Amino acid sequence: MVMCADMKIDVESTNMKNIKIIKDEPMSRHTSWRAGGVAKQYVQPESLAELASFVATLPEDEDLLWMGLGSNVLIRDGGFNGTVIATQGVMSQLELIDDTCVYVGAGVAGAKLARFCSKHKLMGAEFFAGIPGLVGGALAMNAGAFGGETWPLVVAVETLNRKGEITKRQASDFKYSYRHVEGPKDEWFVSATLKLSKKKEKNNTIDIKQLLAKRAVSQPTGVASCGSVFRNPEGYYAAQLIEECGLKGTRIGGAVISEKHANFIINDNNATASDIEALIQLIQKTVKNKKDILLQTEVKIIGEKK
C-alpha cells in the first residue's frame, strides 16, 4: 500500500458550552429535497472536540443520523426519533500532507476538495466537483461521479465512536464496492487521507469546468432534488431504464420525475416525503414489471411514516 505522512486531529476536552441543540427540528429545513418530518433533536457543534464530548453523553441505543448537506437522505413525514448531528462547518480541515497526499475533514464539501486538489495540481479528485455533499457522506457510501469513486483514493481515515474516541484506521479495515462501504460498527468518519497523483499540465482547472458543464447539460440543477435516486444496476443505467418505461414527467403530489434526467425526482410543488417515497416505489414497481430489474435506492430513506 502507498502510504502518506501521518496526521491526526487533536481532540481536547470541552465543556460543550457552544453546542446548539434544537428540539423537534423540521428536517425539511436541512435536506436538499426540502421535505420531511421533525427530528427529536438536531445538534450543531462548533468543533470536533465538542462533538466528541456530546456523543459520549448519549445513550448507547440512541439512533444517530450524521447530516451534511442533506443531499442523499429522505426523512419520512413521521420524523426521526433520534439525534441528527450537523457536520457542515465542523471537521473542515483541508491541507496537503506531502506532494501527493491530502488530509481532508469529513465536513469539507466535495466541490471544495476538488478545487483544492486542482489548485495544487493534483489529479484524481476532479469527480468530487459533481458530488453535492460533504466528504463524510462520500466516505460512508463510496460516492462517485463522472466515473470516479471515493474509496480508491483513501489511504487512511479517522473515525469517532460512541465513547467520543478518535481512532485512526487504514483503508484495509474497510470493504467497499459500488455505493457501499462496510467497516467497524458505530464509528463515523471525521477525516480521510487521500492519495492522488501529480498533474503535469500548467492549467488543470479545465477538467472540473468541463465536468460541471457536462452536468449542467444533462442534469437538473438549481431545483430541490437529492441527486441520483437509484444506483445503476450492473450493465445498465437507472435513468435509461426509467426513461424507457415512459416515466419521465410522472407526478405524485408535488413530486415529479425530471424531464431532463429520469434518475432525479424533483420537489416541484411542496412535495411531502410521502409523495417522494410513493414515486420511488412506483418507479421500482414499473421497472421491475417491464424490465425485470429491481432498482436499488442510492438515497437513504429514514424515519417513520406519518
Whether residues 117 and 184 fall in one domain: yes
Whether residues 112 and 56 fall in one domain: no
pLDDT of residue 1 exceeding 50: no
Whether residues 239 and 289 fall in one domain: yes
**What pLDDT was estimated at residue 211?**
80
CATH number at residue 192: 3.30.465.10
Whether residues 252 and 298 fall in one domain: yes
Residue 98 belongs to a domain:
yes
Query: Using CB atoms within 10 A of its CB, is residue 206 exposed (0-12), middle (13-18) or buried (19+)?
Result: exposed
Whether residues 140 and 189 fall in one domain: yes
Residue 5 belongs to a domain:
no
Query: Mean pLDDT, to the nearest integer, of 190-194?
Result: 98
Whether residues 70 and 105 fall in one domain: no
**What pLDDT was estimated at residue 9?**
55
C-alpha cell at 81: 426519533
User: Which region among 115-119, 253-257, 271-275 has the lowest average model confidence (pLDDT)?
Assistant: 115-119
Residue 8 belongs to a domain:
no
Place of cell 497523483: 197
Place of cell 456530546: 54
Find the domain containing 76 and state its range.
20-86
| Alpha carbon distance 66, 297 (integer Å) | 19
Active site residue 76: no
Q: Describe the crossing of helices 206-218 and 110-119 by its angle, rounded to 10 degrees.
A: 150
Return the amino acid letter for 24: D
Residue 246 belongs to a domain:
yes
Beta bridge partners of 180: 177
CATH number at residue 253: 3.90.78.10
Residue from 32, 179, 191, 225 carrying the catalytic annotation: 179
Residue 271 belongs to a domain:
yes
What are the angstrom distances between the C-alpha of 24 and each of 31, 85, 109, 238? 15, 13, 26, 36
| Alpha carbon distance 184, 134 (integer Å) | 21
Whether residues 120 and 192 fall in one domain: yes
| Alpha carbon distance 126, 76 (integer Å) | 33
Residue from 228, 258, 274, 277 carrying the catalytic annotation: 228
Residue 203 belongs to a domain:
no
Tens digits of residue pLDDT in 61-71:
999 999 999 99
Query: Mean pLDDT, to the nearest integer, of 81-102?
Result: 95
Question: Domain ends where: 167, 198, 229?
Answer: 198
CATH number at residue 67: 3.30.43.10
Whether residues 28 and 99 fall in one domain: no
**What pLDDT was estimated at residue 46?**
92
| Alpha carbon distance 273, 142 (integer Å) | 25
| Alpha carbon distance 226, 273 (integer Å) | 12
- Strand residue runs (E) in the chain: 20-26, 38-44, 64-67, 73-75, 80-86, 94-96, 101-105, 122-123, 144-145, 148-149, 154-161, 166-170, 175-177, 180-182, 187-195, 197-198, 251-252, 255-257, 265-267, 300-302
Whether residues 174 and 193 fall in one domain: yes
Query: Mean pLDDT, to the nearest integer, of 32-42?
Result: 97
Residue 260 · residue 218 · CB < 8 Å: yes
Residue 192 belongs to a domain:
yes
Residue 204 belongs to a domain:
no
Whether the full predicted model's pTM is greater than 0.95, yes or no, is: no
Pairing of strands 94-96, 144-145: unpaired
Active site residue 231: no
**What pLDDT was estimated at residue 216?**
80
Place of cell 444506483: 231
**What pLDDT was estimated at residue 306?**
84
Handedness of CA 281, 282, 285, 291 (dihedral sign): negative
| Alpha carbon distance 81, 305 (integer Å) | 12
Active site residue 28: no
Question: Domain ends where: 66, 86, 106?
Answer: 86
**From the CB of residue 23, how many other CB atoms can be counted at a distance below 10 Å?**
9
Residue from 25, 50, 126, 298 carrying the catalytic annotation: 298
Determine the straight-line distance between the first and last CA of the chain, rounded to whole angstroms.
49
Whether residues 37 and 100 fall in one domain: no
The DSSP 8-state label assigned to residue 173 in this structure reads G
Question: Domain ends where: 86, 110, 136?
Answer: 86
pLDDT of residue 8 exceeding 70: no
Question: What total number of domains does the chain contain?
Answer: 3
Whether residues 130 and 179 fall in one domain: yes
pLDDT of residue 203 exceeding 60: no
Whether residues 110 and 175 fall in one domain: yes
